[in-house]
Structure 1
Amino acid sequence: MAISIDPRLSEAARLGNIDAFYAIIQEDPYMLDHIDQIPFVHTPLHIAAHEGQILFAMEMMNLKPSFARKLNRDGFSPMHLALRNGQIKLVLGLLKADKDLVRVKGREGMTPLHWVVTMGNSNLLIEFLEACPECIEDVTVLNETALHLALKNDQTDAFNLLIGWLQTNRRKGALALEKKVLNWRDNNDNTMLHIAASKGLRQELRLVLDSFVLFSIDLQAKNSQGLTALEILRDVRQAVNNAEVDTTTTKIKRLKKKEHTYKILCRSAARSRANLSAEMLNAMLVVLGLVITAIYQSSLSPPGGVWQADNTNSSTSDPLFPTSNNVTLHFIEVKGSIAKHLIGAESRKAGTTTMEPMPYFIFFFLTSTAFMISIFYTLWFTLHVSSIVVGPVYFLGISYFWSMAILAPSVDLSGINILYTFVFFTAPFLALSVRILRHLVSPSSNYTEWIHLRIAVCGARNVGIAQIFRFLILPPYIA
């Protein structure tokens, strides 16, 4: 037997008569609970939202907050109805009572935010984004974001506002949110760039290209027809079947291609890291931290100490225990000229280690190897969590090798350590430069696609900084 709503309650909600409502409740205290059991129902809150009865709606929110998330038989929540009927004050009241109401999905997965975007109400759009920033991630049943809907409904002002909000967002996770929303694909694999290109919205395309860094946007993304935004903008229309065949063929070739050894090693290492439990990962990081600390301490306090003053006196008082200035030398004594030629003769300068060159070389080799391995594993285990750890570890490595250069007992060993310091200092910049150059000169890179898209949107004479790279860095076949 279907549960019906008392007509007197509906009339009280329509008129906003709170006293009449409580008079009805005195007759049946469980009336609102009975209504709440109906999956799709036009609650008193729906009625009040439709009629703009703010006080009555707030009273319902206080008594039955669950009504605000219920859908009526048409698939609308109270906030949806308030938006459709232009009850802006009531919408803001509901938003103040529960900011997550903007994420309630109604008919076709449309949230109140999506409705505001399709309506083009900029003021409400700002209120929604400020109250609940996460609502910009919500998608419809067709996987459309607010950006998709703004472009499809020709609401360019709403689109520009969303882009501006993403650009100025400073909250936690803003970078990941920006990248996710900008590259989101709908059911046809169209990003917001594909839609803007298909509608010929050059100003909107230019706004996106000017507002975000290159690596935030995947300009090479292809939709279900196998077309990029640039190809759509150029009206390069291909048959869907041919595009699918080409895409499938490319995937088959990539899967059949033999992997490089370094890719196999990286995959194995990644799988090993993924299989580590949180407790095991924490234990390994603790051990690595202790190893790095102990090794770095050895660069500050080497075995045997350091010379306190320059000493060139190599005379000995005991042939079994050679000494110099009452300091006993190490038992590993280099007497051959070949070893001294390779690693240099002992200088015994103030601040250098009392170890002879050969013992020091062995000590340096072992500690440096352990130090580099420990740093590598520390970075490997923590980079997926945060890249902040890279800076301190980088400068710690430079400090270690520079300290070992100062301690080196010979000029040649000191030069080797200085070389290690220089390599450690420049390696990240060289790796980054090689990666950037490879990215720039590749004819199929995201950067090349960015330049071509900017040229198509802005014209050849207005490409911004891309024009400089285009003529000074890129080869002629790209320009």
Structure 2
Amino acid sequence: MDISIDPRLSEAARLGNIDAFYALIQEDSYMLDRIDQIPFVHTPLHIAAHEGQIHFAMEMMNLKPSFARKLNRDGFSPMHLALRNGQIKLVLRLLKTDKDLVRVKGREGMTPLHYVVTMGNSNMIIQLLEACPECIEDVTVLNETALHLALKNDQIEAFNLLIGWLQKNRRKGAFVLEKKVLNWKDNDDNTVLHIAASKGLHQELELVLDSFLSFNIDVKAKNSHGLTALEIIQNVQRQAVTSAEDDSTATKIKRLKKKVQKYEELCIWLARARANMSAEMLNATLVVTALVITAIYQTSISPPGGVWQADNINSSTSDPLFPTSNNVTLHFLEEKSEDKFISKHLMGEESRKAGTTILTPFVYFDFWLLNSLTFVLSIFFTKIILSDFPPFLLAPLYFLGISYFLSMAILAPSAILSKVNIFYMGCFVLVPYLVMLAGALRVSKSTNYKELINLRKALRGGRNAGIAERFNWLQSFM
């Protein structure tokens, strides 16, 4: 098959002559279709992109959008050619027509973003990232990301720009994207940490380590030579032993061999139960738990039977079934005289103060116990259902729990029961601090944390990594 195109069409594209182009179409209506069937061809759009003929290029995009994704025999798309020849306006017009053109891979898997990164064109980097944020995930045939290419081509400003964009990205999936890109390995298993370390770019290394997810960066990752970034900095020369177990793998093996504890069985069971629930079932369960939480909280505001409207110290009664005091009807489950001693001993003596429930201590305790169990379990199930969400989004449930036990403390008919509620309210207050403390202990004992601290010290000539940086584990809870 003749892969050349009509010289008159090439000339029309070079000059941006749309009238001449349509004159050729009148002679041969299938001209563009035949070109489109050729796998690698220098289309009229390639020619227009090379020459910066915006009007003609947009006409081609309108008639044959597929031309924009075709590679010529040199392995370049129209956008690649426009970038190589500095046709920035045409690139922006192509980008506005189809943002995914940024992800078209040309020669050696290079995308337009990869190309502008190697050139160090900061303005175009921003334009491409804003148009198509996903393009930062694309890799070359050598498994290099845009960050790898920036460092390997000594485009430090471009690298700093890409890191800054990752750290300030607020789009959906930003956490996952940042972790993925910063830990990505090229064909030699080098992450951006390895490359920056090998080039002595300590400032850029610190910039990466100051990432929002610093403790999700695998600082213990080894390249094909068996070296971590820290070992490269310290000029530790050693050969990689391919048969040696990686520390992280050895840790996993050790953990899997350990006997499953009771609390782990519960966690595994809950995780499996959640995984087997459909999206519809999860939504329905979430609605039910929300309704239960609302109903239970309402009872802490309006308990059954109501509350005392005024202090009622005198317990004289006139009706044995419905005893009254100061013309106020008491609860019909008033303890018999033989039970009052036990009630006062275990639950405390009724205060009958204004604002407290008219329920007797025993009845209130039963009511409180059932309500509190239901309330706490509903919050627990809600937390499991929303386990994929950031913990801070569950803050309203946390404050609702505190409010519930405070309200039940105010309603309590005796001082002892009020103190019980205050105790559980205090437990609710301490929950996030205990979770953060457990997280801090877990992080501080991890080998990745120790490597991170040692790497920071190496970057600063052995000086302390800083107290504030030792508490960066708080970021892991965001």
Counterpart residue number, 2:53: 53
Q: Secondary structure at the match of 1:60?
A: helix
CA 1:468–1:450 in 2, change beyond 3 Å: closer, same or farther?
closer
CA distance in 1, matches of 2:418, 2:107: 73
Q: Which amino acid counterpart does residue 457 of structure 2 have in structure 1? A: I
Counterpart residue number, 1:355: 359
Identity of aligned residues (%): 71
Deviation at 1:242, TM superposition (A): 4.9
- Stretch of structure 1 that moved more, 140-149 or 179-188: 179-188
Contact 2:402–2:428 (CA under 8 A) maintained in structure 1: yes
Counterpart residue number, 1:258: 259
Q: Which amino acid counterpart does residue 286 of structure 1 have in structure 2? A: V
- Stretch of structure 1 that moved more, 304-313 or 263-272: 263-272
Contact 2:333–2:360 (CA under 8 A) maintained in structure 1: no
Determine which of 425, 430, 433 is the counterpart of 1:429: 433
Q: Write the deviation string for residues 196-249 of structure 1: whole angstroms up to 9, x where unpaired.
A: 112222121122234545335332334455543222222234332256445565
CA distance in 1, matches of 2:265, 2:149: 42
User: How well do the aligned residues superpose, as a CA RMSD in angstroms?
Assistant: 2.5
Figure out how many residues of one structure are paired with residues of the other and give that number.
468
Could you state the TM-score of these two structures normalised by the residue count of structure 2?
0.90
CA distance in 2, matches of 1:14, 1:74: 18
Aligned pairs for 1:8-407 (under 5 A) are 8-210=8-210, 212=212, 214-242=214-242, 244-247=244-247, 249-324=250-325, 325-331=327-333, 333=335, 335-385=339-389, 387=391, 389-407=393-411
Counterpart residue number, 2:447: 444
CA 1:288–1:468 in 2, change beyond 3 Å: closer, same or farther?
closer
Contact 1:451–1:466 (CA under 8 A) maintained in structure 2: no
Contact 1:197–1:232 (CA under 8 A) maintained in structure 2: yes
- Stretch of structure 1 that moved more, 54-63 or 36-45: 54-63
Deviation at 1:156, TM superposition (A): 1.3
CA distance in 2, matches of 1:81, 1:183: 31
Could you state the TM-score of these two structures normalised by the residue count of structure 1?
0.90
Deviation at 1:251, TM superposition (A): 4.6
- Stretch of structure 1 that moved more, 295-304 or 335-344: 335-344
Q: Secondary structure at the match of 1:400?
A: helix
Counterpart residue number, 1:476: none
Q: Secondary structure at the match of 1:241?
A: coil
CA 1:224–1:309 in 2, change beyond 3 Å: closer, same or farther?
farther
CA distance in 1, matches of 2:40, 2:385: 49
CA 1:367–1:223 in 2, change beyond 3 Å: closer, same or farther?
farther
- Stretch of structure 1 that moved more, 347-356 or 267-276: 267-276
- Stretch of structure 1 that moved more, 454-463 or 373-382: 454-463
Counterpart residue number, 1:477: none
Contact 1:178–1:216 (CA under 8 A) maintained in structure 2: no
CA distance in 2, matches of 1:466, 1:183: 24
Contact 1:225–1:243 (CA under 8 A) maintained in structure 2: no
CA distance in 2, matches of 1:436, 1:134: 33
Counterpart residue number, 2:461: 459
Q: Which amino acid counterpart does residue 191 of structure 2 have in structure 1? A: T
Give structure 1 stretches of 5+ with no counterpart. Answer: 471-479
Give structure 2 stretches of 5+ with no counterpart. Answer: 473-478
Contact 1:382–1:389 (CA under 8 A) maintained in structure 2: no
